[in-house]
Structure 1
């Protein structure tokens, strides 16, 4: 049960382009039906298209552009997005955002000022900041706390935990 990211941006852009084209065609059709001059000069467009042949450069360029756009849309549909869930067992999953928030709260142990956590498929990276002048052992304490919290989630593939400690420099 791996939920993938939605292609909301791709779908929205495609829908807006198709909507704009449809509105343009409908507007021109209504103007022609009412006997008014159309927004798009229909006669000049038809004349230009009528003079083109299949072997002309304009047709080849337009076909290449349409084929490239179609290929990009196909790739956007086929290539899987980033997983938004981490699998607990065959029927249960936890959101990556929820897991990240739980791990961030677990990373704030004694001496940690703030923590930033990135959750990936095989690795959890935590960057903790401390005001201590000597941060010996703090990384191990944070790693232990994070590994314990990851163990509580009982993920099917527990990620490797990597901790980096940054000491905030205070000016005297």
Structure 2
């Protein structure tokens, strides 16, 4: 079971950049081999590079950009992303997908009497529910929604139960 996201976006971007550079180098090499005029002259590139000095700003900027890109790719590979499967307690290796977890908690928040709609966001150790109501008197509604969501979290029984935060929004308000 994959509990962490795959790093497909950074890997794909890196692979595409390397592929483009290789295709370009192969095309220029083939053009040189068959005797056609290459897209970029080898002599012009080497002459331009030969005229650069280490004290010029261009090598420093190019090195800084390369180091920054390398650091970004290294951090993307090492730092964990959001869990795609949230681990559950129990004897078996079990988990719930973030989508189904969020959907179940949204259903629990919507099932409270007086709630006309609910949106749920999952954080690292927090669940934030924004519920919409048509009631003018909202006394106790937020606590009822919090209790319903916490009961559902208790039924799901995640390894680390999140803190539940509820925000009420009346259907006439714009915030």
Using structure 1 for the length normalisation, give the TM-score. 0.87
Query: In angstroms, what is the RMSD of aligned CA positions?
Result: 2.0
Correspondence 1:7-22 to 2 at 5 A: 7-22=7-22
Distance verdict in 2 for CA 1:101–1:60, change over 3 Å: same
Distance verdict in 2 for CA 1:126–1:51, change over 3 Å: same
SS of alignment partner, residue 115 of structure 1: strand
Report the Cα offset of residue 88 of structure 1. Answer: 0.6
Moved more, 86-95 or 58-67: 58-67
Partner of 1:93: 95
Q: Does the alignment pair 1:167 with 2:159?
A: no
Correspondence 1:70-109 to 2 at 5 A: 70-89=70-89, 91-108=93-110, 109=112
Distance 2:161 2:130 in 1: 19
User: Which whole-Å deviations, capped at 9, do the CAs of 1:33-81 have from their partners, x for residues lacking one?
Assistant: 110000111121122234445x342433333322222122112211111
Q: Does the alignment pair 1:135 with 2:138?
A: yes
Report the Cα offset of residue 8 of structure 1. Answer: 2.6
Moved more, 146-155 or 8-17: 8-17
Distance 2:121 2:6 in 1: 20
Contact 1:2–1:87 under 8 Å retained in 2? no
User: What is the aligned length?
Assistant: 169
Partner of 1:144: 147
Long gaps (5+) in structure 2 = none
SS of alignment partner, residue 96 of structure 2: strand
Q: Does the alignment pair 1:40 with 2:50?
A: no
Moved more, 82-91 or 36-45: 82-91
Distance 2:144 2:125 in 1: 21
Q: Does the alignment pair 1:4 with 2:33?
A: no
Q: Does the alignment pair 1:122 with 2:125?
A: yes
Report the Cα offset of residue 2 of structure 1. Answer: 7.3
User: Which whole-Å deviations, capped at 9, do the CAs of 1:20-41 have from their partners, x for residues lacking one?
Assistant: 1111101101111110000111
